[in-house]
Amino acid sequence: MMRSAEAVLTANSYYEHSVRRPLSHGALIGDMSADVAVVGGGLAGLSAAIDLRKRGFSVALLEAENIGWGASGRNGGQALAGLACDMSVIEGELGRDIARQVWDMSIEAIDLIHERRREYKIACDWQAGYLSGAVNAKKARELANSVESMQSRYGYQQALIEARAVRAWIDSPRFVALAHDPKCGHLHPLKYTLGLSRAAASQGASIFENTRVTAISRDGRGYLVHSRDGLVRARYVLLAGNVYLDQLAPRLRSRIMPVGTYIVATEPIAGPRANALIPSRAAICDTNFVLDYFRLSADDRVIFGGRVSYSTATPMNLAQSMRARMLTVFPQLDDVAVTHAWGGFVDITMNRAPDFGRATELGDDVYYLQGFSGHGLALTGLAGRIVAEAIAGSATRFDCFARLSHRRFPGGRLLRTPALVAAMAWYRLRDLL
């Protein structure tokens, strides 16, 4: 049901309409061998494939749909430092020193985007700059405290923009304070994902699309990764399918929850008018728990995301309801049409921290990357790099993340969604206080 609903949303994606996909890599037919079988053709799996090939491992990457079909090719396009959770979550569990290492790796994740853009000549509409926006006085104080804390504890500098200067950065009545981060930015996520796919193939990775993995089993020499028409014999396996792993690893599935998030794109706006909305053309996100995020595309559209769903059903009147949200931020766009409305599922964890580790239920050499919690455009690349390091025998950086504890969502298969809906209603109420 989840995939059939998403097929419609994918067809309506502005990103899909603004690229020309290359010819399909084709499905796996027959048996083959590889050092590493990668399950999932999104940013994490492709990143791992690139670094594994550079380290001399043979790689077979298996994607159930098309490259970038999931969140990697449909997200808001914001490449941000840090994690979806506050760094205090990491400090509280692993201590200040490990938290600093995790933070530094998240900065490396931004640098990695630029490294790969240059090395593989990936044209993906990069635009520097990110603004966090506070919508009331309480959140403005929290934002100021966050800016000060990140500078004093992590050496990370952002510029606090107080109320009198806000309209010079964003022509909106909604915000009372901003924080500007010049390191982060935004890009066209599907162009970037397809660029990584070309890079992985150029490095010699074998990529198969329309190849759904149906089972993983063991033999005396390693792992057998089964699809409908083929089989990969591998020494190592990487699960990078997030919410789309189905029943391949039930223990992992219970630790993440699929949450729908939705985006619209407007028709192109005249250049001067678009620039007047966000003069710096930075990506913007408010600081609410259930947040809105938006930016200008390279062709002067407003890309506006927000709203969440905890079922697999697409919200009714999606384009109209998202347009109404956009007009609370930019009421001056009431004469601008929405041309595309799409969405998809992100995989959240209970504590919003990423969940990386070894799927020991399947074997000690089966690794997984999941739980990016809507904050994965940059972090997925770093995750692919450090899991490649771990497979090559240097797991120090990977284990910084693997040490984080993660709980199952309460309520079991039938009740965990209603429990999450009730919790999110509470957080929405807190956003209003």
Q: How confident is the model at residue 7 (pLDDT cuts 50, 70, 90)?
A: low
Is residue 315 within 8 A of residue 321, CB to CB? The reply is: yes
Q: Please state, as a whole number, how many other Cβ atoms lie within 10 Å of the Cβ of residue 316.
A: 7
pLDDT tens digits, 30-43: 999 999 999 999 99
86-115 core/surface letters (b: 16 or more CB in 10 A; e: else): ebebbbeebeeebbbbbbebbbbbbebbee
Q: Between the CA of residue 270 and those of 170, 266, 300, 346, what are the distances in Å?
A: 17, 12, 7, 33
Q: How confident is the model at residue 11 (pLDDT cuts 50, 70, 90)?
A: confident
Write down the pTM of the prediction.
Answer: 0.93
Does residue 96 have a pLDDT over 90?
A: yes
Closest of 65, 14, 31, 57 to residue 235, by C-alpha: 57
Percent of the chain residues past pLDDT 90, beyond the cut? 81
Does residue 221 have a pLDDT over 90?
A: no
Distance CA 355, CA 191 (A): 26
> What is the average pLDDT across 120-149?
97
DSSP string, 16-56: HHT--PPPP-----EEEEEEEEEE--SHHHHHHHHHHHHTT
CA diameter of the chain: 68
* Structure token pair of residue 92: 């509280």
Burial class for 3, CB neighbours closer than 10 Å (0-12, 13-18, 19+): middle
The rounded mean pLDDT for the chain is: 92
| Positive or negative: CA dihedral 231, 240, 415, 421 | negative
User: Which pLDDT belongs to residue 23?
Assistant: 85
Q: How confident is the model at residue 125 (pLDDT cuts 50, 70, 90)?
A: very high
User: Which pLDDT belongs to residue 220?
Assistant: 83
Q: How confident is the model at residue 385 (pLDDT cuts 50, 70, 90)?
A: very high
pLDDT tens digits, 338-364: 999 999 888 999 999 999 999 999 999
Is residue 427 within 8 A of residue 308, CB to CB? The reply is: no
pLDDT tens digits, 156-168: 999 999 999 999 9
Burial class for 122, CB neighbours closer than 10 Å (0-12, 13-18, 19+): buried
| Positive or negative: CA dihedral 380, 132, 75, 253 | positive
Q: Checking phi first, is residue 58 left (phi over 0); if not, alpha (psi -120 to 50) or beta? A: beta
